[in-house]
Chain A
Amino acid sequence: MPEVSKMKKPDVKVVLLGDMNVGKTSLLHRYTERKFKDTISTVGGAFFLKQWGPYNISIWDTAGREQFHGLGSMYCRGAAAVILTYDVTNWQSLAELEERFLSLTDTANHDCIYAVVGNKADLTDPKAHLSQDLDGVSQDQTECEEDRTEPQVLSACPTPPASPASLSGMILHKQVTHEDALALYGRILRYKGLEEKSSLPAEKMCFETSAKTGYNVDTLFETLFDLVLPSILRKRNENQESPTVDLEECRVASGKRTKSTCC
């Protein structure tokens, strides 16, 4: 049998972790497709390649269901960034991050960075109805109409509601505060045996997002991508020794999996 040629390895790996239904798939979909649409519960894990400038960033969207628990550490192996996602309206989803998902990151890179992301902020926070990420209206042309509507019109939103709360458009009780997330971030650093001082600050690494409105979504991904750049460069340098790399990189560069956004 002929030697199987090595898969063009992406430069870096980012993993979305968190309980099912917190909105991981929706976040990724919002970021790559600029849309919010109905999702189907993820099976296993889904791999995406995102072109970020000259780099290829692989993103693993995981199911978060207990059924696939055993695969978590495999998806996390060698990860440069892990996005720990919870639902701001669901305290348990934050608790699960610590109980169930944090240990999966043991296989991640030693210098892996962690983001704690509270999604569905649109349900609790009027300001999350307006996306800060619009650096131009043109970018958002393809979106569903409802995404751009004003908060007070949300109640008339015709799309299937994600939860009973969005049906009425009322503001839900925010079960997880920003402070809770900051505290979790601190505990993550401790779990990893990292010094708070020499690590990225909690304020920078805790996000509140809305996949539904797009609030903070681009900021989240782009902050992370910028932060993993050093990791990419180091990896590329390490690979310089290998003669096959040039070839691989050529193929990577001509990869056709460019997403709708460019950078």
Chain B
Amino acid sequence: MERDNHQEGEAQGVKICDPPSESNPPETLATSLSLLGNHMFPEPVVRKDSTTVVKEEPVDLHLSAVPAQEQNLDAEPISTQIKMLETDTAENQEQECPNNESTDTVDRGTEDAAGDNDQSDSGEFVVTMLAKAKLEEQGIGVKGRSSPLLEAGTQESPAFVSHRDEDVTAESWRQHRKHVFVLSEAGKPIYSRYGSEEALSSTMGVMMALVSFVQSSDNIIRSVYSEEHTVVFLQKGPLVLVCVSSSQQSEQQLRGELLYVYYQIISMLTQASISRIFEHKKNYDLRRLLAGSEKILDGLLNLVDSDPSFLLVAIHCLPLASSLRDSLSQILQKAITPNLVFSILIAKNQLLTIVQEKTVIEDTRLEPADVHLLLNLIGASSAFQAGEIWTPICLPLFNPDCYFYAYISYLDPPECTVCLLLLSTDKEAFYAVAECKRKIEEAMVAQNSLSLIAKAQSYSVSQVGVSDLRHFMYKPFDVPDNYRQLSQFTSPEMEAPYSSEEEKMRLLDLYRYMHSRIHSTSRPLKLIYHVAERETLLAWVTSKFELYTCFSPLVTKACAITAITKLLRWIKKEEDRLFIRYPPKYSTTPNPSKSSRGGKSDQPDSTDNGFLSLL
């Protein structure tokens, strides 16, 4: 699983990669493009024995612009119940990073052994070629682009604004921070985040030519770096996903994001259907089946950029007095019908509570990624909120080949902030499930739950009572207490100076950077103290939690450590409110012999949803 491409002799601080050489002989470009049609490249492009064209990632966000200082914390005493782990020294670099598992949830199955990565020339080549492919469509030259950090956030439009009609020849198109393309193995365009797939078909063709060329020599193309862009490829079954990013995220993070896109597609069609479709017809146009779902994918990508839940692979639940949360859970627990497997209550797009069927999911838990996909689906499809929606949905991490049937209804029209989501395995159960909703509604009226929920809100970091602490993200790992629970994290509202979209994005980018260091496959760190110009960040991972904190730039190391001690105490004190502590269960299956995840029992519906007959 682990890709080992670490550079030796790096004591501490920032890794700096030489930017790939700027100059690219024009004749190489011309030659390569003329050869594209034959799916051939000049000999030196990809070495036969090379597995990838991965280049060591450029890491520091600020190095070029801002004096950054990064150092390891000495093991200073922190008086919490949690023993402070050793700091990042050469000795413990090999030690397994306890939080690797968390990213595996999303990353699993995508890590291939990578070998030689000394392929900077081909990397540069490939990127330039992608750029050239765009030029061909535009008929104009590449102009200098602004710093990705400057434009961070500014290009991000509010969710669900369609970018389908965007002019792909415009400079603004290329300046998007992160492009995402999905294509089929046969090179057919399936999705593009910006601009229509048709307009981009030649760009996609080039990407596919690349992918198939590398495949033909039994190598799988993984990523390409240039000074400005990181291009990450992910092949999943018959689909190829490509991200062209000018954000400074790690390849691992970008691949995780592509995986979310893949999972969202699976959630709509199932993996089994997609395989069957392409087995049946290699050049099938999958847009036929995804037509109308583009906004769901657009929405997902906007969330991925703006919501750290995706980065942390954890759920952010709405803070709620545990008594209220318990009473809501009990309401859900009482409104059941056969084949109901999950009852989920959501307010302001955050989880309030989740109750699950005992036997169907005996030995497993709902993966955060599946919950993220559900929340995104709800967010993207709630325009017409008066109705009760009944739709098939697949939870890819639970079982990528089967459908659940989702009942989605708002409990507080016309505001529509409190949403009930009931998942059944029975396609025909709509009326029975809708009846559960009516029971839940009645009970909530009786207990005045809606007005109590309306008062619930995220918290301010000032409640922690630590000056200099501006923001944090805290993700506890499974402890015996909440064994098999949903992975969760808690985080206060982003407040000044992170109120504007740009500043929020900048902080998130800093977190993403810290996260990439902590989760680096080559050299994971346990503790990072990162002094930037406008803030100081401290990230710390132990066997019990993962913590990212942001302080004012004036904080001293000693202060930061005291602050974290206080913060951890505060979280401990508040944890009943901040987290769903004991996800309750119910039993709706008469015979408790059902198998769970992956088991092709008669539980989730594995039918093909009927569209195969339309091929």
Interface, chain A (partner B; CB < 8 A): 1, 4-9, 20-21, 25, 29, 32-33, 38-48, 61, 63, 65-72, 74, 100
Contact = CB atoms under 8 A, between A and B. Distances in A.
A41 B384 CA distance: 10
Nearest to B608: A70
A47 B614 contact: no
B480 interface: no
A100 B381 CA distance: 24
Interface in B256-313: 268-269, 288-293, 295-296
22 contacts: A4-B337, A4-B435, A5-B435, A7-B431, A7-B432, A7-B434, A9-B431, A20-B291, A25-B384, A29-B384, A40-B381, A41-B291, A44-B392, A45-B390, A46-B388, A47-B430, A48-B387, A66-B288, A67-B290, A67-B611, A71-B610, A74-B428
Contacts of A47: 387-390, 430, 434
B609 interface: yes
Instruction: Name the residue among B390, B608, B611 with the largest chain A CB count within 10 angstroms.
Output: B390
A194 to B, nearest CB: 25
B454 interface: no
Contacts of B296: 43
A211 to B, nearest CB: 12
Interface of B: 160, 268-269, 288-293, 295-296, 336-338, 377, 380-384, 386-392, 406, 427-428, 430-432, 434-435, 438, 587-588, 590, 607-611, 613-614
B590 A38 contact: no
A44 B389 contact: yes
Nearest to A103: B613
Nearest to A77: B428
A175 B295 CA distance: 28
A7 B610 contact: no
A74 B289 CA distance: 19
B614 A1 contact: no
Given A42-B384, A66-B611, 11 more contacts: A1-B588, A7-B431, A7-B438, A41-B291, A42-B381, A43-B391, A47-B389, A61-B387, A67-B611, A70-B392, A74-B427
Contact of B435 (A7, A25, A70): A7
A68 B384 contact: no
Given A7-B435, A66-B611, A71-B427, A41 B590 contact: no
A68 B609 contact: yes
A63 B296 CA distance: 14
Contact of A41 (B293, B337, B338, B431): B293
Contacts of B390: 44-47, 71
Contact of B392 (A4, A7, A38, A68): A68
B380 A40 contact: yes
Contacts of A5: 435
A45 B611 contact: no
B610 A20 contact: no
A32 B609 contact: no
Contact of B613 (A7, A46, A69): A69
Contacts of B427: 71, 74
B279 to A, nearest CB: 18
Contacts of B384: 25, 29, 39-40, 42, 46, 61
Contacts of A20: 291-292
Contact of B611 (A1, A9, A61, A69): A69
Contacts of B388: 46-48
Contacts of A61: 384, 387
B436 to A, nearest CB: 8
B435 A41 contact: no
B431 A67 contact: no
A167 to B, nearest CB: 11
B383 A70 contact: no
A8 B292 CA distance: 32
B387 A43 contact: no
Contacts of A9: 431
B586 to A, nearest CB: 9
A29 B381 CA distance: 15
Contact of A1 (B336, B406, B432): B336
B113 to A, nearest CB: 36
Contacts of A65: 289, 291-293
Contacts of A67: 268-269, 289-293, 609, 611
Contacts of B389: 43-47
A99 to B, nearest CB: 9
Contacts of B289: 65-67
A251 B269 CA distance: 38
A73 to B, nearest CB: 8
A63 to B, nearest CB: 7
A69 B337 contact: no
A72 B430 contact: no
Nearest to B427: A74
Given A33-B386, A47-B390, A70 B607 contact: yes
A127 B382 CA distance: 33
A6 B435 contact: yes
B612 to A, nearest CB: 9
Contacts of A44: 389-392, 406
Contact of A39 (B383, B428, B588): B383
A61 to B, nearest CB: 7
B295 A40 contact: yes
A19 to B, nearest CB: 10
Nearest to B340: A4
A48 B410 CA distance: 13
A190 B76 CA distance: 85
B282 to A, nearest CB: 19
